[in-house]
Structure 1
Amino acid sequence: MRQATTTSRGDLLSTTKPHLTRRLIQLYVGLTLYGASSGLLVVAGLGLEPWNVLHQGLAELTGMSIGVVSIFIGAAVLLLWIPLRQRPGLGTVSNVFVVGLAMDGTLALMPDVHALGGRIPLLVAGIVLNGVATGLYIAAKFGPGPRDGLMTGLHQRTGRSIRMMRTLVEVAVVATGFAFGGTVGIGTVLYALAIGPLAQFFLRFFAVPAPSGGGVVAAGGQPEQAILQR
């Protein structure tokens, strides 16, 4: 009996370690690509995703880089989780730092692009890559990003739909960011229309098989809804 128990534990460890390794790789690749995709949208200059409109506006106001502003805003939003009684995960905390650093790194490497013929492909690539990145890091199931957790927390505390909470918050951040000089344009609209279907597709595509092989590990219900309900 003891030998059988030892064998079963060994089998579990042998399946769990690769499973955890894949999830960690998927998390950090996803967060890095998320920051890179945001950098592409900044270079394209045709409109940013809602929160980066705010980040860019504050960067213009303060003189800090957009990535550093993203880190500060992410940390501030994470503090709002306390009264909302949300629990951060490894992915939540990592999101705060990795995305901002990857965004600044991408902007440091990318040349300025002025021709519309070059900016449009960058816009499309940025939106699609953002969908890929979202699927990767959410499907790793290490917790939602600070901003998505804010939506689910507000939903739980107010009883209002996630869609309504997201709309109200994102309208507020876009308006504030635009007032400070953030870029709003066709890219902002295309992102809002495309990111839900893209994220849904890539969440399924990158779903992590469970250690037993009997199912998949995907994003938890409400964090996923915070991404998809737009």
Structure 2
Amino acid sequence: MYQLKRIVMAFCGVVLCGFCVGMLQKADLGVDPFTCFVTGIANIFHSTYSTFYLILTGILLILVLILRKHYIGIATVINLFFTGVAADAMHHLLDAILPHPSLAMRGGLMLVAIVFTCLAAALYFTADLGVSAYDALALMAAYQYHLLPFKYCRIITDGLCVLVGFLFNVTLGVGTIITALFMGPLTQWFRTHFAEPLLAHRAPAAS
């Protein structure tokens, strides 16, 4: 039962994260830091986002496999196959419901998406069945190498991604700044106050 709970948490976290990506795309007020980074690198080579998303994610995946393969698991596979599908589904749904949202509605979508992205990350981090290669960087820095608490490690990785995007002609928005500064602390808050208590009743140890 405990293992099933972890799988359900991981799946819900990944799919919810995908829905939030679709909401951020519809809000059109700034992309998340990793998207900003990938777009900036793609601009250097005058290539497409999708091409460099695969390249950079692949490089990070190899790095994580070498340093801490524990972070690669079923949730990583779920992330790979379901995040994009969930994002597209949410974006299409919002296009049908809100074809021309006002600025206030876009701002509301952005804020809801950011909060629920943090909740989603807390769910699949706590399930401990693998995370995305990018998410693993801050987790390794915080929990394997003990460089800083997770929330600060995430602010640093997100901040560096935004800096790279800015240097290579990616247009930043308020959503980019908010996610870079607040996703780490808010994700940690959801882990402590929601996800970890949800998983608190572990299976009894074998006698």
TM bucket (normalised to shorter chain) is: 0.7 to 0.9
Which residue of 1 is the match for residue 178 of structure 2?
190
Which residue of 2 is the match for residue 217 of structure 1?
none
Aligned equivalents of 1:180 and 1:114: distance in 2?
30
Instruction: Say if 1:84 and 1:154, in contact at 8 Å, map to a contact too.
Output: no
1:106–1:58 distance in 2 versus 1, CA, 3 Å: farther
Shift of 1:38: 1.7
Residues paired across the two proteins, number = 194
Shift of 1:44: 1.1
Q: Which runs of 5+ in 2 are unaligned?
A: none
The answer to which of 24-33 and 191-200 deviates more is 191-200
The higher relative CO (CA closer than 8 Å, separation ≥ 6) is in 2
Which residue of 2 is the match for residue 48 of structure 1?
31
Which residue of 2 is the match for residue 38 of structure 1?
21
Shift of 1:59: 7.6
Name the larger-Rg structure: 1
SS of the equivalent of 1:80 reads helix
Q: State the AA in 2 paired with 1:43.
A: K
Work out whether 1:101 is the aligned partner of 2:90. Answer: no
Aligned equivalents of 1:30 and 1:176: distance in 2?
28
Residues 137-196 of structure 1, C-alpha deviations (whole Å, 9 max, x = no match): 122221333112223445789875466765554334223334555442222222234323
Aligned equivalents of 2:55 and 2:103: distance in 1?
32
Which residue of 1 is the match for residue 163 of structure 2?
175
Aligned equivalents of 1:94 and 1:104: distance in 2?
15
Shift of 1:26: 1.4
1:121–1:167 distance in 2 versus 1, CA, 3 Å: closer
SS of the equivalent of 1:40 reads helix
Which residue of 1 is the match for residue 110 of structure 2?
123
Instruction: Say if 2:155 and 2:181, in contact at 8 Å, map to a contact too.
Output: no
Aligned equivalents of 1:211 and 1:27: distance in 2?
17
Work out whether 1:210 is the aligned partner of 2:202. Answer: yes
Shift of 1:125: 1.0
Aligned equivalents of 2:81 and 2:55: distance in 1?
9
Work out whether 1:92 is the aligned partner of 2:76. Answer: yes
SS of the equivalent of 1:21 reads helix
Q: State the AA in 2 paired with 1:102.
A: A
Instruction: Say if 2:162 and 2:180, in contact at 8 Å, map to a contact too.
Output: no
Structure 1 length as normaliser, TM-score?
0.67
Aligned equivalents of 1:105 and 1:56: distance in 2?
22
Residues 187-224 of structure 1, C-alpha deviations (whole Å, 9 max, x = no match): 222223432343233223133121239xxxxxxxxxxx
Q: Which runs of 5+ in 1 are unaligned?
A: 1-17, 214-230
Q: State the AA in 2 paired with 1:91.
A: A
Identity of aligned residues (%): 28
Q: State the AA in 1 paired with 2:109.
A: L
Matches within 5 A, 1:17-166: 18-56=1-39, 62-63=47-48, 70=53, 73-87=56-70, 88-111=72-95, 112-113=99-100, 115-153=102-140, 160-161=147-148, 166=154
CA RMSD of aligned residues (A): 3.3
Instruction: Say if 2:166 and 2:172, in contact at 8 Å, map to a contact too.
Output: yes
Aligned equivalents of 1:20 and 1:157: distance in 2?
23
The answer to which of 176-185 and 123-132 deviates more is 176-185
Residues 109-147 of structure 1, C-alpha deviations (whole Å, 9 max, x = no match): 331545212111111111111122112212222133311
Shift of 1:63: 4.7
